[in-house]
Structure 1
Amino acid sequence: MATLFEPFALRGLTLKNRLVVSPMCQYSAVDGFANDWHLVHLGSRAVGGAGLIILEATAVSPEGRITPDDLGIWQDEHVDFLRRINQFIEGQGCAPGVQLAHAGRKASTYAPWKGHGAVAEGGWETVAPSAVAFADNYPLPVALDAAGLKKVIADFRAAAERSVRAGFKLIEIHAAHGYLLHQFLSPLSNQRTDTYGGSFENRIRLMLEVVAAVRQAVPDDFPVVVRISATDWTEGGWTPDDSVQLAAWLRDRGVDLIDASTGGNVPRASIPVGPGYQVEFAERIRREVGIATGAVGLITTPAEAEAIVANEQADLVLLGREELRDPYFPLRAAHELGAEAAWPVQYERAKK
């Protein structure tokens, strides 16, 4: 049997295979509310055989949205439709997860097909570790004070509680791609001189406090994972060595898996993009820290995905753009790898 189709357990959750639909923003919500687009988009990928689907970056507060069109989970009213989606996903034998996010200084910007940079009308004040904009056409953020930091932590805790009520079975904390928690981690964006800036221990402080708040808000058997950018790809920034050290701290504080992506914190970083270009970071963290990892980034064929898990480079393979191109990638992968995968009974006549 292909390793890719072996079950995988994280705390009380057992995934039917190692293929995960990566969080991918749809920029299709109104006031944070999910709708039929999300139901069909996510539901089709559950029908397609994934073991886990992680919902796109879902804002823990209105000011934490990347764009006005982002999903949210900052109010109780957001829960009902998310629960409907999750019930359908589970009905297909797939686990629903959610990525809890705060965009920090990259907030109040346009959806990709609507414009670029700061929203001209209907935008909002953004926050960050320091009053440094991401780029010239992005909003100038306000540096978070003590009250603002407490609010961020409380917002993540409340979002985690709502996530459980909405029927999610896993939470991913978004600390990658230049969003708020990544901004605190990297010296390129964190210029603070208080206990949340300067040293490595200070820069990871908010990350650890958010993890603690989320871990306390969910049951003991509920998995919590963290997506990091393992490198800024920029001199003077966050490094792979930092990621290994952070992963050890997170492991000891109840994080179950590191989803290893890269980049996003500064514009014009020199990134050697190519097939599987980020797998090495997941492999190193897994090997040196002894924590489960997920590999992501231009993984496009069943053979590539199988090699990653069979060679113990990572425990899970997260697919983004390939899942947009082919929602049934897991079923196709099972066929190509000679593995058995359950098809929806409505589709079984097309199995062979």
Structure 2
Amino acid sequence: MSSALMANYGHPELQFERGQGVYLYTADQQRYLDFTAGIAVNCLGHCHPHLVKAIREQSERLWHTSNLFSNIPTERLAQRLVDLSFADRVFFANSGTEAVECGFKMMRRYHYHHGRKQRVRIISLTQSFHGRTLAPIAACLNPLHTEGFLVGDSGFDQVPFGDLEALRAAISEHTAGVILEPVQGEGGIRAVETDYLKAVRQLCDEHGILLMFDEVQSGMGRTGHLFAHEALGVTPDLLASAKGLGGGFPIGACLSIEKVAEVMTAGTHGSTFGGNPLATAVGNAVMDYISDPAFLQTVQQRSQRLRAGLDALIQQYPTILAEHTGLGLMVGLRCACVNADLIKAFMNKKLLAVKAGGNSIRLLPPLNIRESEIDEALTLIAAACESLA
């Protein structure tokens, strides 16, 4: 059947009609165990009753007003994020790439405000992913994403992942800041080393430049902490959040410390739909769970169970599986075979997973997954490996 949709996503093999918890269902009621969670979006699974209730109740009260006016759910969600993080201020958008764009603008505006107009360049790391709009693709320099789109020098410099000396050498009088993912997602579920991250923070402080963390994928409880950087002991000046923040409803947020946020005066940035009460009502419903330390502890426990099972499978199928990486329930499965072949084998066993760089597969289950569902996934992974052995 032909589709009126553009072909930029290719032609998806599967079409789903509904979801419930950790499962997706086709129109003919074939059930798939979903370890994509919408690429780390459906943090509480599909159609979680608390989120459904929040959407239903808010949809009967107020959908949208624009930012000409304030609304209660948005003020509440902003305050909760501030209370639970390093941040003093929040800007709401509709997606991760918008949150990153906001951070880039704030980096440049901060230095402009303080008379350092030459500080416009932003440094990123290789194999990073920060979104699909123009500035983020310029930062990432992935040819697949940039070909035919970029013109000239976009104001970004890139250094090898984990190479502190390369970063040091790249910093100049024109540098505004550094952006990185504490745990790279698209790049292969690679967590930065704590010592490296601390050194990056020190370099930024020494040179008077800003440090931004992209936690669009690694944030909102995915690693067993509200944000992944909390486990690494380093605090940023800016942070991009999205994905799990809405539990499946579009929302993004740029979090900032006060000295940077204060330069964003009236008219310097905006979003028609950002901070709409429907989105932030769902965000508050997500926070009801994610802000609970007991919930985050359970995420870590589920991670340990999944990783212990993967350790056994790596020993059993060394020609298929090489190692697992990442933090919490942001799990990378490095393949000894071709990762696309293993993803296909997973799908044949009714298990869904996401491809990543470094010949890896991303396992991103809902954070409230049950132990029995983890065991089911391990059984399906074993069956898929057996089919390729």
TM-score, normalising length: structure 2: 0.28
Higher relative contact order (CA 8 A, sep 6+): 2
TM-score, normalising length: structure 1: 0.31
Larger radius of gyration: 2
